[in-house]
Amino acid sequence: MDHFANEKDYALLAQDQYTFFVLNRLLGGNNTFLLTDHERVILCFSAEPFPVWIWNADDASEEEFEKVYLLAKENGLMDGKHRFNIKYKLAEYFIRRAIADGIDFTIETNMFAYDCPEPIVPSVSCDGSLHQCTTDDIDEIVELMDLMHHAIDADYESEEVYRRKAEDGVARGGLYFWKNAEGKTVACCNWHGNNSGMASIGLVYTREEERRKHYAQNLVYQVSMVVKQAGFLPILYTDADYVASNACYEKIGYILRGKLCTIRNSADS
């Protein structure tokens, strides 16, 4: 196993380019742990509080699943504290296998991966307009990041980290607000591109008191158009159990392309 990625790893991920878009980005160096055989399995971890990403071949056998499990265990990842973003068959094996080590894994999130080849104008308009964030918006971005993580109850980071990410997002021009007719910021999102020609839309959050007014749908549509005009294919991850939210994305042209899940130790809930 190697601790570096090469062109073979990127070719492997091209088979699952939607579900493993984030892992593709992490291989570029934004990680603290990487193991790969360049053929059948890739394990990669960025940093706390985020999950470990594991890619494995679709035709992997139970013997290979066991090898992956042991790789995670031998490298301190099977300590009951780490979460994993993985395919469903591997998740099922991990859940069964971990019982012998006293770990009670459960599925935390069922994830859908969408792309949007041709954004569709929302059928319901809303008041307000798109706003590209500037340095004047840093404090509000930090506030919205914190609100979003409390809303999903996951991946909490410090205010210092939120601020650094906000500054980076503003610097690369990838952070947006939706401001209503009164000029109030009611929703936010961002986007990240990579060398595969795809760009993920994330940080989608609407202030609680401003929901059900179609702000997020119009915001994501507008940012999807920005992404398309920049030469990227828009993609996004969603919680599969948020039916209404997913329906909104589908109405503006997003197409379901892949599924995976996040598993965690139930003792950490």
The answer to whether the CB of 18 falls within 8 A of the CB of 235 is yes
Cα distance between residue 185 and residue 179, in whole Å: 4
Residue 205 and residue 148 in contact, taking contact as beta carbons nearer than 8 Å: yes
Residue boundaries of the structural domains of the chain: 7-111, 129-253
For 14, residues 6+ apart whose C-beta sits below 8 A from its C-beta are 196
Residue 180, pLDDT > 80, answer yes
Round the average pLDDT of the chain to a whole number and report it: 94
Q: What is the pLDDT of residue 27?
A: 92
The pair phi, psi for residue 43, each rounded to 5°, is -115, 130
Confidence bin at 80 (pLDDT 50/70/90)? confident
> Which sign, positive or negative, has the C-alpha torsion 30, 91, 147, 230?
positive
Instruction: Return phi, psi of residue 41, to 5°.
Output: -155, 145
- Among 37-41, 45-49, 62-66, 252-256, the least confident range: 45-49
Does the pLDDT of residue 268 top 80, yes or no? no
Minimum mean pLDDT among 34-38, 76-80, 172-176: which range? Answer: 76-80
Is the pLDDT at 49 greater than 90? The verdict is no
Mean per-residue pLDDT, 86-104: 95
Question: For residue 173, is pLDDT > 70?
Answer: yes
For residue 269, pLDDT over 60 is answered with no
Class of CATH domain 129-253: alpha beta
Which range among 49-53, 103-107, 152-156, 198-202 shows the weakest confidence by mean pLDDT? 152-156
Of the pLDDT bands very low, low, confident and very high (cuts 50, 70, 90), residue 76 is very high
Q: Tens digits of per-residue pLDDT, 122-168?
A: 999 999 999 999 999 999 999 999 999 998 878 888 999 999 999 99
